Amino acid sequence: MEGASNWGPAAMEVQAAPKAKFKIPVDDDSKATEFWLFSFSRPHMSAFHLSWFSFFCCFVSTFAAPPLMPLIRDNLGLTAKDIGNAGVASVSGAVFARLAMGTACDLVGPRLASAAIILLTTPAVYCTSIINSASSFLLARFFTGFSLASFVSTQFWMSSMFSAPKVGLANGVAGGWGNLGGGAVQLLMPFVFEAVRKIGSTKFVAWRVAFFIPGIMQTVSAIAVLALGQDMPDGNYRKLHKSGEMHKDSFGNVLRHAVTNYRAWILALTYGYSFGVELAVDNIVAEYFYDRFDVNLHTAGLIAATFGLANIVSRPGGGLMSDWLSQRYGMRGRLWGLWVMQTIGGVLCVVLGIVDYSFGASVAVMILFSLFCQAACGLTFGIVPFVSRRSLGLISGMTGGGGNVGAVLTQVIFFRGGKYKTETGIMYMGIMILACTLPVAFIYFPQWGGMLAGPRPGATADDYYNGEWTAEERDKGYNAATKRFAENSVREGGRRAASGSDSRHTVPVDGSPAPADV
């Protein structure tokens, strides 16, 4: 009877052609099959631009302090330990915030979840302008860092809007352009500081006034997400739940299917030493070049900015590479690409710690390291959307949280309290990258295979994803979206599997959907 139930009304709905209402081409799950970078068509591309910009603003807020650290250090009398503790605090708060964000995305949708975390953390940004001690500095950075959880909603949103052949690129560009905030802020804050100084403020007043700029940016981005965003191609979560088009899941089911999937834990570990390393470097790189090579604050900021600004091409390049490898080699190509790029990044990180005797060599190696490290981030989130459909948000949160855990551990072990010289800490950090990338070899999808083994005979994507639903839930059609995703992800089996695909796509139409209900 279970097999027969798959041919009931709910299953037939899976086979139905989508409603033609989007400007961008979509598949039968209403997910975009093309990526129009300079389009703002609703809801797919507008969600893309809202997600990356809001995450960009959160990155600016979280790392607004490091470019002005020499000034803040002198004004507040901070020690090296105080600065290290604040650096750890800035990335540690987001560990649990990202897990909560993932769950919120699964239950209430990325639009409300993203806007909520951004608005809740904005007061901490403004309060940075009135801090007067090491403890208040630590608290301001801690609570501001919660905003980095918006990364999870960014990746969840893109995975909900774009089809399997484009999800790596969409995630890579959204995440990469958001991460640009870590580089842009290295230029922005010194610029604002100097502008305020020229108006007539003292330097210890000017750095405080400068923090109003990231605060305003963050506030505006949250309002834009609420006013212009849409959770899914077919509407917001509340509307879809009310109409019965989307099953309202329980926290227990979402949690169970996330924590019992070992692939999520491995990706969280490896992401801890790609994105986690990027966060650690954002916290130390300006001060490192300022102190080690005796450059001025402006030059140190420019050098540090190149690390973050590489995200304009590196992380999107990783996502694009993931999709290209999938097109040729399936999921096995995505996994091999992640392992190779992150391993090369680890080697370059070791070299960066060794060439501290040369300013030019350090800058050159740092730029190369940033390209591979950030590309590995994009490659990671080219894989995450395929781990689970029912718990996609929480698994995105676990992976993103793993990045923050890696950043915290790296800062605590290598860059706090002066136990190691900074260059020595960088070298050891590279060794950690190499070690924590090895477990990628153990990720295996029965229907597609892994790095070291091919797919299991007879295994299908439909079996893999529908295993997250009980027979009763399948009978009620709760897994309809899962079945559509499984059908459209056939390319992950490689070129041979994709050649036999009958996946269906719509063609562009002139009209965009009307704004969804709030």
Which tokens go with 114? 């993203």
User: What does the pLDDT look like over 428-441, one tens digit per residue?
Assistant: 999 999 999 999 99
pLDDT band at 6 (very low <50, low <70, confident <90, very high): very low
CB-CB contact of 467 with 387 (8 Å) = no
Distance between alpha carbon 87 and the CA centroid of its chain, in Å?
Answer: 20
User: What does the pLDDT look like over 373-391, one tens digit per residue?
Assistant: 999 999 998 999 899 988 8
pLDDT band at 396 (very low <50, low <70, confident <90, very high): confident
Would you tell me how many other CB atoms lie within 10 Å of the CB of residue 471? Answer: 11
pLDDT band at 496 (very low <50, low <70, confident <90, very high): low
Report the sign of the C-alpha dihedral through residues 427, 269, 456, 170, in that order: negative
- pLDDT-above-70 percentage for the chain: 92
Q: What confidence score (pLDDT) does residue 498 get?
A: 54
CB-CB contact of 154 with 59 (8 Å) = no
Which CATH code of 3.40.50.2030, 1.20.1250.20, 1.20.1090.10, 3.40.50.970 fits the domain covering 40-248? Answer: 1.20.1250.20
- In this prediction, residues 475-500 reach a mean pLDDT of 74
Would you tell me how many other CB atoms lie within 10 Å of the CB of residue 111? Answer: 28
How many whole angstroms separate alpha carbon 381 and alpha carbon 114? Answer: 18
Q: Which residues belong to CATH 1.20.1250.20 in the chain?
A: 40-248, 261-493
User: What does the pLDDT look like over 321-332, one tens digit per residue?
Assistant: 998 999 889 999
Exposure of 421 by Cβ count < 10 A (0-12 exposed, 13-18 middle, 19+ buried)? middle
- Residues contacting residue 48 through CB under 8 Å, at least 6 positions apart: 157, 158, 161, 170, 173, 174
Looking at residue 61, its amino acid is S
- In this prediction, residues 238-248 reach a mean pLDDT of 79
Q: What confidence score (pLDDT) does residue 7 get?
A: 36
How many whole angstroms separate alpha carbon 246 and alpha carbon 377? Answer: 31
The torsion defined by the Cα of 126, 128, 130 and 131, in degrees rounded to 10, comes to 160
- Residues contacting residue 154 through CB under 8 Å, at least 6 positions apart: 51, 52, 54, 55, 110, 114, 174, 175, 178
**Helices (H) then strands (E): counts for the chain:** 25, 2
For residue 368, give the nearest of 385, 380, 355, 381 by alpha carbon: 355
Give the three-state DSSP class for 490: helix
User: What does the pLDDT look like over 30-59, one tens digit per residue?
Assistant: 889 999 988 999 899 999 999 999 999 999
Give the three-state DSSP class for 457: coil
- In this prediction, residues 320-349 reach a mean pLDDT of 94
DSSP 8-state symbol, 147: G
133: alpha, beta or left, given left = phi > 0 and alpha = psi -120 to 50? beta
CA distances in angstroms from 483 to 6, 22, 122, listed in the order given: 10, 22, 40
User: What does the pLDDT look like over 136-177, one tens digit per residue?
Assistant: 999 999 999 999 899 899 999 998 899 888 888 999 899 889
Residue identified by tokens 């990356």 is 52
Q: What confidence score (pLDDT) does residue 15 get?
A: 42
| Backbone torsions φ then ψ of 97, nearest 5 degrees | -65, -35
Q: Is the pLDDT of residue 2 over 50?
A: no
Q: What confidence score (pLDDT) does residue 500 get?
A: 52
Looking at residue 429, its amino acid is M
Which tokens go with 15? 């086979």
Q: Is there a cis peptide before residue 43, judged by omega within 30 degrees of 0?
A: yes
- In this prediction, residues 245-272 reach a mean pLDDT of 88
User: What does the pLDDT look like over 95-140, one tens digit per residue?
Assistant: 888 888 988 988 889 999 999 999 999 999 999 999 999 999 999 9
Helices (H), 200-296: 203-210, 212-228, 237-243, 251-259, 262-272, 275-292
Looking at residue 30, its amino acid is S
Which CATH code of 1.10.760.10, 3.40.640.10, 1.20.1250.20, 3.40.1350.10 fits the domain covering 261-493? Answer: 1.20.1250.20
- Residues contacting residue 205 through CB under 8 Å, at least 6 positions apart: 196
Q: Is the pLDDT of residue 19 over 70?
A: no
User: What does the pLDDT look like over 58-100, one tens digit per residue?
Assistant: 999 998 998 898 899 989 998 888 888 888 888 887 788 888 8
What is the SS3 string spanning 334-360?
HHHHHHHHHHHHHHHHHHHHHCCCCHH
Helix (H) / strand (E) containing 37: none
pLDDT band at 499 (very low <50, low <70, confident <90, very high): low
CA distances in angstroms from 370 to 164, 308, 317, listed in the order given: 27, 8, 12
- In this prediction, residues 334-354 reach a mean pLDDT of 95
Q: What confidence score (pLDDT) does residue 510 get?
A: 43
Q: What confidence score (pLDDT) does residue 164 get?
A: 82
Q: What confidence score (pLDDT) does residue 9 get?
A: 39
How many whole angstroms separate alpha carbon 81 and alpha carbon 403? Answer: 23
pLDDT band at 22 (very low <50, low <70, confident <90, very high): confident
